[in-house]
Amino acid sequence: MDNALKFYIDGRWVEPHGNTRLPVIDPATEQPFCEIAMGNLADVEDAVAAARRAFPAFARTTPGERKQLLQRILDGFMARYDEIAEAIVREVGAPTSLSHDWQAGIGKFHLEQLLRTLDTFEFQKTRGTTLINQEAVGVVALITPWNWPINQIVCKVAPALAAGCTMVLKPSEIAPINALLFAEVLHDAGVPPGVFNLINGDGPSVGAALAAHPQVDMVSFTGSTRAGVEIARLAAPTVKRVHQELGGKSANILLDDVDLEAAVTAGVNSCFGNSGQSCNAPTRMLVPAALHDRAVEIARRAALAHRPGAPAAAHTTMGPVISERQFDAIQRMIAIGIDEGAQLVCGGTGRPAHLPTGYYVQPTIFAHVSPEMTVAREEIFGPVLVIQPYENDAHAVQLANDSVFGLAAYVQSSDLQRARDIALQMRAGSVYVNYPAWDPAAPFGGYKQSGNGREYAEWGLEAFLETKGIVGWGH
């Protein structure tokens, strides 16, 4: 990666002010494969100043001009598609098929959806004699995670550009290479100098400085609830807009009329996708008490059908988790589940026997899980599913909503109207009925400690817009 030791500021690849370096670790081998430069406060000042200088001119570009820019970005993204997908295989450990079909693919889908959104979005409209003007919020700081890296980069950068904002991106320092490649795409597409800037760095230094910076008008953050609380605290003195997509502990209610084999198997596979490292994964499977034992046996078979292994291996269905720190945290949670008396159905602590190297976690299922258990309440962020029995539909909804999180929820039923009734009662930003296809036009974001605001399509665009009323416009 030619630009790994540089930052992209004011339309150029520049040397950082400091000399701190961070190795990027391949989670499948536990070995570094490159280094990146790490930023400091001086780099933050340069990037924010560049974005501030570029804002007045870029904010005055037309929606049509910005749409043409986004089309060029999409074209450039597709030209570098395989390169971006392979970077994610290496730095995240995603299996090759997952990385090519979804990790990189979702960036394409977001760009395509935003272009469709811009076809009909009204930046201006009149109401009587008042003009309602939707205009760029200003300079925005974008802080993105490692688990679906290009997804969260594109679903922030693209609507910020469409809104007329200028920005500083701080991608995850654990999976930074895809972001550097995307910066090259933006440069080649002709994004004006200063409109997009990228600095690598960690949260306590670069992330915190961006959140607190008085010249930053908005922070859009995806990550842990703990970090989200700190970002909100740092942003509060300047009363900047804070948009957050945080943790989850999503319930998956299987009603008593489902095809149990199909519903349980799909639920296990959805939970274990991306090695369980998805904030909206259905990690709590709620099943009727009378069907619990049958569901557990189906889930066990589904889990054992997964094949952890090297991301590039053809048979692999589950790669490693991202880092030693994440591996250790998951191991601690599995041990807590065992200690608190949950029934270990399969998996457990330690690596799979055939994988002594790499941050591989055994696909793990707990059954007879009660609501007070730690594994039922805390986000594990690994391939760990808990199965909870319930007595009736009302009890299922109560268990599903008994969480500090509210990012996503799932409901399965052969009776669509019954599923809809349950979905309307679930306190979550997204509810998925009968394992639907992913919809890039649906709003994404959470209730409660899962965050605030929404991303994707027009909701993602609106997040980066201020609303101005000009009264008397029509006189």
Task: Name the β-bridge partners of 132.
Answer: 125, 469
> How many CB atoms within 10 Å of residue 132?
15
Please list the helix, strand and coil fractions of the chain in percent, rounded to the nearest 5, in that order.
45, 20, 35
Q: Which residues contact residue 73 at a Cβ distance below 8 angstroms, ignoring those fewer than 6 apart?
A: 111, 158, 161, 185, 186, 189, 191
Contact 154, 110 (CB under 8 A): yes
Q: Which residues contact residue 436 at a Cβ distance below 8 angstroms, ignoring those fewer than 6 apart?
A: none
Query: What angle, rounded to 10 degrees, do the helices at 81-92 and 177-189 form?
Result: 160
Parallel, antiparallel or unpaired: strands 139-143 and 21-26: unpaired
Q: Is 245 a catalytic residue?
A: yes
C-alpha 105/C-alpha 72 separation (Å) is 17
Q: Which residues contact residue 290 at a Cβ distance below 8 angstroms, ignoring those fewer than 6 apart?
A: 256
Measured CA angle at 276 (ends 284, 443), to 5 deg = 75
Cα dist from 200 to 83, 146, 156, 367, whole Å = 20, 13, 17, 41
C-alpha 125/C-alpha 460 separation (Å) is 19
Residue-wise DSSP of 395-416: HHHHHHH-SSEESEEEEE-S-H
- Catalytic, out of 155, 165, 271, 279: 279
- Catalytic, out of 245, 379, 455, 458: 245
Task: Name the β-bridge partners of 409.
Answer: 251, 431
End-to-end CA distance of the chain: 58
Token pair, residue 60, equals: 């005055």
Check the CA dihedral 53-59-61-67 and report its sign: positive
Contact 422, 398 (CB under 8 A): no
Active site residues: 245, 279
